[in-house]
Structure 1
């Protein structure tokens, strides 16, 4: 499923190349901002983005996921550098973390992603969308706030983000507001059906046009109406300018292996392994939900790819890498369909660093903010909330609670709360569905409908107490694949006491199901011999 032929990729080039450029423009300031917030050299964020685009894009099994430095790890990186007292010592810990992550992939730990309920994943996406809107509105207005916080809250809360939004209203830059407003209008118009029907407009993504508009307007405004221009460097892309292309390699920083004797780096490495793996698996699950072609990415292969990427990043002086939701969402929103888009984003990062860094510094952050505002709206539009409301409380409550929890805490804590709530609803659903009692006069049928665990013991007792004296009962377990010994013991206790109330009981297929049977997960029927043969996929997961 994950191996694609050359024609598959070439057929999507018209969407992947422009999308890759858009993702590059979104990723560029984020890479720099995350490095700044991590207390690491600015170039380390760009190196991590390069590894994510040029290496992980091809190692990963996901066609749409974009990898790079993640804002969710900034606090961990900052504390680790301070704790170890050396950025090179931190790089040693990162190489170890990458190795551990790769081992998790070979141990098939990626199966964890399969246990995230759909309502919780969609809640996470909606929360990310709301975070983007709250974080990007100040940028759209020209307010000086941190760009590194745009993918997660880190130490921020919903209240502090709302304060930043209010403060931005007092410090509006006319030029930034014009740029972001028109950029948003361009992208809205680009989504109209009339535009989508035109081949010319399909070839050029709206976000790319928005960036061209922002650069063109600002250059014209600086010449003819300086008061309406964006002049403050804090509101512009700020890329390190290299004197010559070969100076790129002079920016590499290598691990200090003497830190292997320091026990602290192993604690840092394990922490980064766990957090980075969870963020990657969450992002991968979310991207699969957003994929217009509904492909499923192998999670174990993703962990191996991320592990190799983090080892490479650590070897050359980069930051920790994860699959990141915002850049992946921007990729899908801009029309990306295969891994070529992610690779193009990495290639653009490399070319821009080597040759065009001074020109990219003309891009106002306001037009990039507009791109992310549109992405945020698509993730958290009212239609998504209505969709889950119509599904019932069992889906709507985990969805809403996940959104609120992420806004009130951070991504991982909010997901943990959402998972806990989702698990409660799963238990409740299974609790009621596993056993049913049907009554017809003095005749009862107690049906064990599927796997019956000890959690259903209370429900079973409640049903048994409803059975009246002088009646007949059929206990039908033919549909159950597994019956917990506690359930069997409760039924046997009922069989012992039933004659006292003149209750006649008939058992159907109850015993022998106390152990979970092993089933071959994948069976191929050989057309000649008609014998089942279990097979395994060496790249599965």
Structure 2
């Protein structure tokens, strides 16, 4: 990409921005609804996330906006802090703390998450998207995409909602109109993606999701007074201002009189911490999805997110993070540069000002069909086979992350996957502390060579102690530490204790180091204290 010409990839970025716009619109509204905040606050966050964060970010394909992962925190905080305007002060503080994180170069944290966990995160989100959109597909849910956690604010959970949907389908109590247009929409999307996009440039410029949305609006208008019509709660619900003053009245402003309260600062720090972690994980995942494999500067991303949250908080918006659903939709739709994220933000802004009535004619089931495709591309069945073939060390953290996300929420799932990944590392560290080679008898003694790894820590105590204690009497042990750059004091103490046992069991020890060979050293502690500090 030629960074001096941001318009170079317009042919790819504009169609991608339209798709992201249609994905982001219901999510902005749904997350605001799930957060117990004004609906317009979700749109503000989407606009700021697209235009401000998109312009400042170093990510070429990441898209930011209100995040489902923060919905529970926002819902609780609005009540606990005494109202939405008090909560906005915490959003501004959270943004300022994110700026501080960026200047302190805390962005490196994202690189410490294993690849298997990141892939599990993407797959888990894909599965959640599919599961959560099934009720909308059949016109059976009125909350447009807000409940991305297992437990929902309406008292349902992912699977009770699905069970309710299945029962409704079996009994015929679902919305036939919503289902018909959803099936038409998903057919258009599949046909567009698999057939028409290869037939000509017009089908690459005009994206399938746009055609599906137009078909949904046409269906709504044509069936308005028939038995297959869609009720208002099956459609997008953007606030429609009566006048310019009414439009201005949708913005809220922070009540800075409460800035001295401790609970405001605690909430602000919580928002900063969770939003930063979610952003860094999404950055890592988005970079993996990027066909060009560009690397996002994470510290710059935290500064961009912090700036976005300060602005969003000042004008009444929800907290912002980089969001994998929007980002993956952008990548899958062929977005090349950050212009697609910025343009999608302008589309949100222009549409809520000029055409809110038209937006309110879009069936939610059509947008569910769009998200189905996004979810499937994130959670392709082939990926499970690939991860399984990589071995249990990759597969188990991958599966645990998926299950954690599906049955709890995004951050908890990632935390569980990371915990399992750490356990795997400890197990492999236990196993790989040394190499043991048994040779033929020499001078009536078994000759055994033990080569210690490059780094041997207290994690390896159990494995080494077990090997030493299992050595038979009348053994000749050759202990090679030439490759060892770090030897924990705990290991040295084990060797020191073993030297006493060795004398009683007629075990001779030959210590081989970069300083030479020592037969039956008097003191391992003294020997290693005299070694160069790097060793």
Q: Normalized against structure 2, the TM-score is what?
A: 0.89
Q: Kindly indicate whether residue 502 of structure 2 is the aligned counterpart of residue 505 of structure 1.
A: no
Cα distance between partner residues in 2 of 1:514 and 1:311? 54
Match of 2:97 among 100, 110, 126: 100
Whether the 8 Å contact between 1:482 and 1:514 is mirrored in structure 2 is no
Residue number in structure 2 paired with 1:431: 430
Segment drifting more, 69-78 vs 311-320 = 69-78
CA contact (8 A) 2:148 2:409 kept: no
Cross-structure match for 1:227: 227
Structure 1's 498 and 323: CA in aligned 2 closer, same or farther, altered over 3 A? same
Aligned residue for 1:142? 139
Q: What is the aligned partner in structure 2 of residue 448 from structure 1?
A: 452
Give me the CA root mean square deviation.
2.4
SS at match of 2:58: coil
Matched residue count: 512
- How far is the alpha carbon of 1:288 from its aligned partner? 1.8
**Structure 1 position 210 matched with structure 2 position 212:** yes
- 1:477 offset after TM fit, Å? 2.2
CA contact (8 A) 1:57 1:342 kept: yes
Q: Is the contact between residue 286 and residue 324 of structure 2 (CA under 8 Å) also seen in structure 1?
A: yes
CA distance in 2, matches of 1:67, 1:273: 15
Q: 1:507 to 1:517 in 2, by over 3 A?
A: closer
1:384 corresponds to: 383
Mark the structure with the bigger radius of gyration: 2
Deviation at 1:96, TM superposition (A): 0.8
Residue 255 (structure 2) aligns with: 256
1:478 maps to 2:482: yes
2:495 matches 1:491: yes
**Distance of aligned partners of 1:100 and 1:164 in 2 relative to their CA distance in 1, 3 Å threshold:** farther
Gap change, CA 1:361 and 1:196, over 3 Å in 2:
same
Task: Measure how far apart 1:430 and its partner are.
Answer: 2.1
User: CA–CA distance in 1 between the matches of 2:151 and 2:307?
Assistant: 26
> Deviation at 1:146?
1.5
The alpha carbon displacement at 1:463 in A equals 2.0
Could you tell me which runs of 5 or more consecutive residues in structure 2 were left unpaired when the two chains were aligned. 441-445, 515-526
- TM-score scaled to structure 1, two decimals? 0.89
**Which piece of structure 1 moves more, 194-203 or 371-380?**
194-203
Aligned to 1:158: 158
Q: Compared with structure 1, are the counterparts of its residues 358 and 462 closer, same or farther at alpha carbon in structure 2 (3 Å cutoff)? A: same
In the TM superposition, 1:157-176 aligns within 5 A as 157-169=157-169, 170-176=172-178
Tell me what 1:529 maps to: none
Q: Offset of 1:204 from its aligned partner?
A: 2.3
2:150, 2:407 within 8 Å by CA — same for their partners in 1? no
For 2:184, the equivalent position in structure 1 comes to: 182
Equivalents in 2 of 1:514, 1:166: separation in Å? 70
8 Å CA contact 2:54, 2:342 repeated in 1: yes
Q: How many angstroms apart in 1 are the aligned matches of 2:257 and 2:235?
A: 40
- Kindly indicate whether the alpha-carbon contact (under 8 Å) linking 1:19 and 1:341 is maintained by their aligned counterparts in 2: yes
Match in the other structure for 2:235: 236
Residue 513 of structure 1 deviates from its aligned partner by 10
Q: State how far apart, in whole Å, the 2-side matches of 1:83 and 1:118 are.
A: 38
- Secondary structure of 2:213's counterpart equals helix
Residue in structure 2 matched with residue 535 of structure 1 by the alignment: none
Taking the aligned partners of 1:478 and 1:366, their CA distance within structure 2 comes to: 66
